[in-house]
């Protein structure tokens, strides 16, 4: 192969790879970009059933019910616009409490209830996505990660 041709082939390959990456990323983004929901969004557009998403808002006062099995809880997440009932099985984050900001990761059921597999709480030294900080008013602290 001549030098010029080789350069051209490599350049074409690189362009193809970049376009491929872009398409791959876009198609995945189309599915996943709307990853974060506030209860208001769910009320407006309906729940994205059966897909892994994050739900963010405040834990409604008086809504936490501990279940008899000792490891499950039910509570309600609100953003002042609408509410979503959430069920969660696991160790709650250290500063998960009523009136506090929370991000739940999990899936919506068809009946607009949410099954959380992970909880991220406010004032907890865990990661808090910025969206949650905006959704839940007040001084949301910087936090880190996913404790189920």
| List of residues contacting another protein (CB under 8 A) | 1-3, 6-7, 9-10, 13-14, 17-18, 20-22, 24-25, 28-29, 31-36, 52, 54, 66, 69-71, 89-92, 94-95, 105, 118, 124-131, 133-134, 140, 142-148
Between 3 and 110, name the residue whose CB sits nearer to another protein: 3
Between 14 and 45, name the residue whose CB sits nearer to another protein: 14
The CB-of-112 to another protein minimum distance in angstroms stands at: 20
Q: Cα–Cα distance between 56 and 132 in angstroms, integer?
A: 5
Query: Comparing C-alpha atoms, which of 93, 63, 96, 94 is closest to residue 78?
Result: 63
Which residues does 9 contact at the CB level (< 8 Å), separation at least 6?
1
The CB-of-113 to another protein minimum distance in angstroms stands at: 20
The CB-of-50 to another protein minimum distance in angstroms stands at: 12
Between 40 and 85, name the residue whose CB sits nearer to another protein: 40
Distances from the Cα of 34 to the Cα of 6, 31, 140, angstroms:
42, 7, 22
Q: Tokens standing for 112?
A: 């607009």
Between 7 and 44, name the residue whose CB sits nearer to another protein: 7
Q: Contact, 142 vs 114, CB < 8 A?
A: no
Q: Is 19 helix (H, G, I), strand (E, B) or coil?
A: helix
The CB-of-39 to another protein minimum distance in angstroms stands at: 14
Q: Contact, 102 vs 59, CB < 8 A?
A: yes
């Amino acid at each position: 192969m001549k030098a010029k041709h080789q350069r051209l082939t490599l350049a074409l390959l690189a362009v193809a790879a970049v376009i491929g990456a872009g398409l791959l990323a876009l198609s995945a983004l189309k599915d996943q970009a709307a990853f974060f929901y506030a209860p208001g969004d769910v009320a407006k557009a309906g729940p994205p059933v059966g897909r892994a998403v994050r739900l963010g808002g405040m834990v409604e006062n008086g809504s936490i019910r501990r279940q008899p099995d000792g490891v499950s809880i039910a509570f309600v997440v609100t953003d002042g616009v609408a509410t979503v009932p959430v069920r969660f099985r696991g160790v709650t984050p250290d500063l998960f409490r009523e009136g506090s900001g929370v991000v739940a990761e999990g899936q919506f059921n068809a009946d607009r209830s949410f099954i959380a597999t992970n909880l991220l709480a406010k004032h907890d030294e865990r990661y808090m996505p910025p969206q949650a900080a905006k959704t839940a008013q007040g001084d949301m602290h910087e936090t880190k990660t996913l404790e189920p």
